Amino acid sequence: MAQSLDSNLGLIAGNGNFPLQFARNARAKNFSVFAVAHQGETEPALEEEVSACCWIKVGQLRRLVRFFLKSGVRQVAFAGGIGKPRALRDLRPDSLGLKVLAQARSSNDDALLRAVATELEKQGLEVISATELVPECLPQVGCLTKRRPNEQELRDAVIGWQAAKAIGASDIGQTVCVWRESIIAVEAIEGTDATIERAFKLAGSAGVVIKLPKPQQDERFDLPAIGIRSIEVMQRCKASALVLEAQKAVLLDPQSVISAANSANISIIAVDSFEGFGAKL
């Protein structure tokens, strides 16, 4: 591990399987996990994987801080996202949450998360990367699946890489779908799976799916995550390949994801830049 970790770890849990995987890995490594879960987002099953769990609404930071400090937690990690529609609809900030909103330089994801992290550290909570506990979930450079991408898919990948970095720089989203060198769909507020489904409706194929972190991404939170559900959506929407940035994405249960992709004949590649794409695979 890159840094020394306390025996008690805090988990700020969003949606999806990543919080569960984080908690299971931490427990297997003899850490005690104390989780703050978000109502309507976090899987209830998380309660069975942690030492204690506190349920809050989006924005209730004062309650979050009190729970962690009372539990003897000094290091916390974010795992899982919060859907933007729900965050906008169900936001219930307390006094500390309102303070963070007022101090954030903008209302975009990156600025808000950085503002939250800054305030947590002022309150005595060090924010660490969740990947400290799940390094095996970070893809290495290369082709992860049996089928390698063909020339057309590589051309689409290069176009999608550039587009994904551009929309990320504007804090729009992380995902782009490219089909036959045309950008079919760009992620906005709806999330990755809905973006893939929209591409399929528009073109009859989601083509090559590119999901990358934003250039300004703070890697302690909101790294792109791919699970079996996304592979199933890709298969249903006739996507043929998935492009990730090496060491900057999270595969939820990597063996299962890769096995599902192989069964669907979907190629998954991880690269560190779009120059010399083919030579790196």
> Which pLDDT score is estimated for 107?
64
> Which pLDDT score is estimated for 84?
64
- CB 90, CB 60: distance < 8 Å: no
42 Rama sector, left if φ>0, alpha if ψ -120 to 50, beta otherwise: beta
User: Which has the closest alpha carbon to 243: 153, 181, 182?
Assistant: 153
> Which pLDDT score is estimated for 50?
98
User: Which has the closest alpha carbon to 164: 195, 202, 208, 210?
Assistant: 210
Rounded distance, CA 221 to CA 106, Å?
A: 17
> Which pLDDT score is estimated for 149?
96
Rounded distance, CA 236 to CA 18, Å?
A: 23
> Which pLDDT score is estimated for 273?
80
**Which residue type, as a one-letter code, is found at position 280?**
K
Q: Structural domains in the chain?
A: 8-132 (3.40.50.20), 138-280 (3.40.140.80)
Q: Which two tokens stand for residue 262?
A: 């192989």
- CB 113, CB 222: distance < 8 Å: yes
If 0-12 CB within 10 Å is exposed, 13-18 middle and 19+ buried, where does residue 134 land? Answer: buried
pLDDT tens for the chain, residues 1 to 281 = 456 889 999 999 999 889 999 999 999 999 999 999 999 999 999 999 999 999 999 999 999 999 999 999 999 999 998 876 555 667 788 999 999 988 876 666 777 888 999 999 999 999 999 999 999 999 999 999 999 999 999 999 999 999 999 999 888 889 999 999 999 999 988 889 999 999 999 999 999 999 999 888 888 887 899 999 999 999 999 999 999 999 999 998 899 999 999 999 999 999 998 665 555 55
> Which pLDDT score is estimated for 1?
47
Sign of CA dihedral 81, 212, 114, 109: negative
Run of H or E residues at 39: none
Rounded distance, CA 93 to CA 79, Å?
A: 20
> Which pLDDT score is estimated for 112?
84
- CB 184, CB 123: distance < 8 Å: no
